[in-house]
Every structure is written in structure tokens, then in C-alpha cells.
Amino acid sequence: MSKVKTFYEAYKRNCPLFTRILFFLFPPTVLLHILAVNFSAVADFINEGPGSVLRFLLAKLTGILPFSLAELVIVSVPALAVLLIVLSVRFAKKEDPRPARRYAFVLVGILLFLYISFVFTLGVSYYTATLDEKLGLEKSTPGAEDLYRTAQTVKAETEALLDSITFDETGESVMPYSFRELNDKLNAAYKACREKYPFLTPMSSRVKNILLSEPMSYTHISGVYTFPSGEANVNTAFPVQTLPFTMAHEMAHQRGIAREDEANFMAFLIGRESDDPFIRYSVSIELLKDFINALAEANRDLFNALYASMDSRLKDDIKAYNRFFDTHGESAASKVSGAVNDAYQKLQGVEAGIKSYGLVVDLAVAYYREEA
């Protein structure tokens, strides 16, 4: 009993208030996490209730900053690691144990915050009702003919926008406005779709331009949602045709859509509702590329027929996208980031891992079938 009493007294004297609060929140968070994993109704309740509030607050708080807080922390990781080692050694040498205890409680508080924020902002979102259920779609694994028919429809919609798009001398599409204007246009599109998709967290958010986009491109990461800071971050070194789609995708994560294929499809749906032709073009060509990849695996003859029928401007823009990966090809960084992302996705119950990104075609086939 004396040891317990000593620990409790040390806890009262040295534990910061924010760590005490997190200690109090930790047990119910674990319980809710377990319930959410096993019951989608609980996951939906958390995702659209307290999770929605936390995502909103974090996005608004970090949105004040003109730079990505998450990027700053990641870049500072080596220096922070050295600092932690130095402080640990220094506190360990002190005869007075109180500074070391306070330091340990601060570290524990940080870990608790990371876990609790993950559960409420993103963790439970992997276990909500699926997007096809929320949209009332009958999703199934499409055959090659289903893929081809839907791809033809997506191709026709994309080609209908070509006369509204500007292309440079290499055939690559050009975005006619700034990053900030694009952000405003997508916020407006999400706001306009609020009644149509009430499960999305309502907010107007500031998407962050990653300053180290060029080196990040070698990891093949086009964007990332960082749950502890609530920031949607976008790699602006990627071909500009991808930018509206990627921004809408990360904003979907920010609004409670965790699964990658569903974030892809939500980006398509939101972009499709926009009154801006370049945004509609971006989300359409990205979906079309997914269909091209799926058809190339499912039926080479249908893939060749689809590609042969495409407008030359569309082919040139896709070639510009492929040229980008010729200069940012397979690297150790891309393999490591891919393996980490694959492991993370599977840990969250996504059996397909990183292949789930391409499963957006399943949702698209079901969506267009419903439209027809």
C-alpha cells in the first residue's frame, strides 16, 4: 500500500493537467474503440458526433497557420529525437526525481493524445457503414464488360469537358487559378453537397500546400490527412490534373471518410457537383485512369478498344501524368511508404491494403448503374 500511496502522491505533484484529463479519457476511449470495431452503428455515431466535432476543431485551430504544422513536426523529427535523448539522459542523472517524473508524464500525455485523437478523428471511421450503404448502391465485383461500359460513360463525360480546358505545348492540362482559389471552390462544392451527403462533417477548411512536395514525390504520395493536427495536406509537385481530385480526396478524410476507395469516390462525387469545369475534369480523368488500370488487368482487348477511342487531348494529358512517374519512378522511398501504408490499411481492417485505392471502380459501376 505504501508504494501505491507514494506513486499517487508523485502523480498528484508531477502530472500536468492535460495528462490527467487524458488519463481520465483513455479507458472510455478504448471501450468505444472496441465497440466501434464490432458495431458499425456505434462507429457511425462517434464518427458523425464527437468525432465530427474534434475534426472540426482541429482543422479550425491549425487552419490559422499558413503552413502545415504536421510537415513542420515531421521535418523536425530528427532534432526532436535528439532532444528527447538528451533530456532523458539529463533527467536520469539528477538526484531529484521530480523533473524526470514530470517529463515522463508529459511524454505519456502526448502518446495518449495521439491515440485518443486517432480513435475519434479517423480510427472509428474505418468501421462505419460503407459508402455504398450510405448512398443506397448495390455494389458488387464488376466483370470486364461492366468495367468497359462504365468506362465508356466516364470517358464521354471527361471528353465533353475538353473544350473548356487549357493545355500547354506538351499537351498537359493547365489549372486556370491559384491553389487558394481551388481550395475555396472545393469548400463551396462540399457546402453545396451538405444536404445530399449529411454524413460528411460540415466545415470550411484550409488545405495545406506541402513545401517539400518535390522530394515527397519520390514516395509517390500525392496527399495525406494528418489526424493529430486535423490538416489536409497536398503534394503540389504532382501533375496539375491531379490537384483538384487529390485536394477533394484529403478533404473527404477530413470530413470522416477513412477508407481510400470511398475517399476517392467521394472526391469524384463532390467534384462532379462543382460548377467549375477544371475540377469536374480532374475528378473525371482520375476515375477514368482507375478504369483504364482495371481494364488492363481484366481484359486487354477491351482496354485497347477503350484507349483507341479516346480523344487525343485526353491521351496526351495521361501521357504527361505518366512522364511524371518516369522521372519519379520506383525508389526505396516509394517502396517503404507503400509497405507502411499497406500495413496500416490492413491493420484498420481494409483487407485489400493499398490496392483498395483502385476499388473505387466497384463503387463507380454501382453508381452509374443506379443512375441508368
From 71, 103, 127, give the residue that closes a domain: 127
CA 20 to chain centre: 31
Last residue within a domain, chosen from 76, 107, 127:
127
Do 213 and 356 belong together in one domain? yes
Q: Encode pLDDT of 104-116 as tens digits.
A: 888 899 999 999 9
Give me the domain span that covers residue 113: 2-127
Instruction: Identify whether the C-beta of residue 289 lies closer than 8 Å to the C-beta of residue 137.
Output: no
Report the pLDDT averaged over residues 27-33: 96
312 in the same domain as 207: yes
Q: Predicted confidence band at 285 (pLDDT cuts at 50, 70, 90)?
A: very high
Q: Please give the mean pLDDT across all residues of the chain.
A: 89
- pTM of the predicted protein model: 0.91
In eight-state DSSP terms, residue 10 is H
If pLDDT is split at 50, 70 and 90, which confidence band does 83 have? Answer: confident
254 and 143, same structural domain?
Answer: yes
The pLDDT value recorded for residue 284 is 97
Question: CA dihedral in degrees (212, 354, 347, 76; nearest 10)?
Answer: -10
Same domain, 139 and 19: no
pLDDT at 354: 45
Nearest CA among 320, 125, 352 for reference residue 238:
320
Give yes or no: residues 196 and 320 share one domain. yes
pLDDT at 148 over 60: yes
Residues 328 and 234 in one domain: yes
- pLDDT-based confidence at residue 56 (cuts at 50, 70, 90): very high
Supply 11's cell numbers.
502523480
> If 0-12 CB within 10 Å is exposed, 13-18 middle and 19+ buried, where does residue 322 land?
exposed
What is the rounded average pLDDT of the residues 189-199? 94
Q: What was the pLDDT predicted at 326?
A: 79
3-state secondary structure of 333: helix
Domain end call among 100, 127, 154: 127
In terms of pLDDT, which residue wins out, 320 or 93?
320
Distance between alpha carbon 228 and the CA centroid of its chain, in Å? 13
Residue 61 sits in the same domain as residue 187: no
What total of structural domains would you count in the chain? Answer: 2
Residue 137: per-residue pLDDT: 92
Q: Minimum mean pLDDT among 134-138, 306-310, 350-354: which range?
A: 350-354
Q: How confident is the model over 235-263, as pLDDT tens digits?
A: 999 999 999 999 999 999 999 999 999 99
Hey, what's the cell of 138? Answer: 448495390
Among 14-28, 94-108, 191-205, 341-355, the least confident range: 341-355
Would the pLDDT of 168 be above 80? yes
Say yes or no: 111 and 260 in one domain. no
- State how far the Cα of 348 lies from the Cα of 343, in Å rounded to an integer: 9
